Amino acid sequence: MTDPKATYAAAGVDINRQDDALARIKPLVKATRTPGVRSDIGLFGGLYAAQFPEKQPILVSSMDGVGTKMKVARLAGKWDTVGADLVNHCINDILVQGARPLFFLDYVAAQRLEPAVIEQIVKGMAGACTEGGLALIGGEMAEMPGVYAEGEVDVAGTIVGVVDEADLLPALSVMAAGDVLIGLASSGLHTNGYSLARKVCFELAGLGVDDPLPGAEATVGEALLAVHRSYLKPVLPLVKARQLVAMAHITGGGLTDNLPRVLPPHLDAAIETGSWQIPALFRFLMDQSGMPLEDARRSFNLGVGMVLIAPKAKVGAVLKALAAAGEKPWVLGELTRGTGKVHYR
Task: Look at strands 153-164 and 267-271 and give their pairing.
Answer: unpaired
User: Architecture of 180-344 per CATH?
Assistant: Alpha-Beta Complex (3.90)
Contacts with 189 (C-beta within 8 Å, 6 or more apart), sequence order: 69, 197, 224, 226, 281, 300, 301
- Interior CA angle at 272 toward 269 and 275, to 5°? 135
Domain coordinates in residue numbering, the chain = 15-42+52-167, 180-344
Most confident of 14-18, 111-115, 175-179: 175-179
- Confidence (pLDDT) at 4: 62
**Percent of the chain scored above 90 by pLDDT?**
80
What's this model's pTM, rounded to 2 decimal places? 0.93
- Confidence (pLDDT) at 11: 60
pLDDT tier at 12, thresholds 50, 70, 90: low
Give helix 69-76 / helix 80-95 axis angle, nearest 10°: 150
- Confidence (pLDDT) at 21: 72
155-202 confidence digits (pLDDT tens):
999 999 999 999 999 999 999 999 999 999 999 999 999 999 999 999
The mean pLDDT value for 105-131 works out to 93
- Confidence (pLDDT) at 29: 78
215-246 confidence digits (pLDDT tens):
888 999 999 999 999 999 999 999 999 999 99
119-137 confidence digits (pLDDT tens):
999 999 999 999 999 999 9
Yes or no: domain 15-42+52-167 corresponds to CATH 3.90.180.10? no
- Confidence (pLDDT) at 31: 83
The mean pLDDT value for 24-47 works out to 84
E strand or H helix at 191, and its extent?
none
Burial class of residue 73 in the structure, from the number of CB atoms within 10 Å of its CB (0-12 exposed, 13-18 middle, 19+ buried): buried
How far, in Å, CA of 78 to CA of 342, rounded?
37
- Confidence (pLDDT) at 8: 61
Q: Write out the DSSP string of 260-297.
A: GGGS-TTEEEEE-GGGSPPPHHHHHHHHHHT--HHHHH
**Percent of the chain scored above 70 by pLDDT?**
96
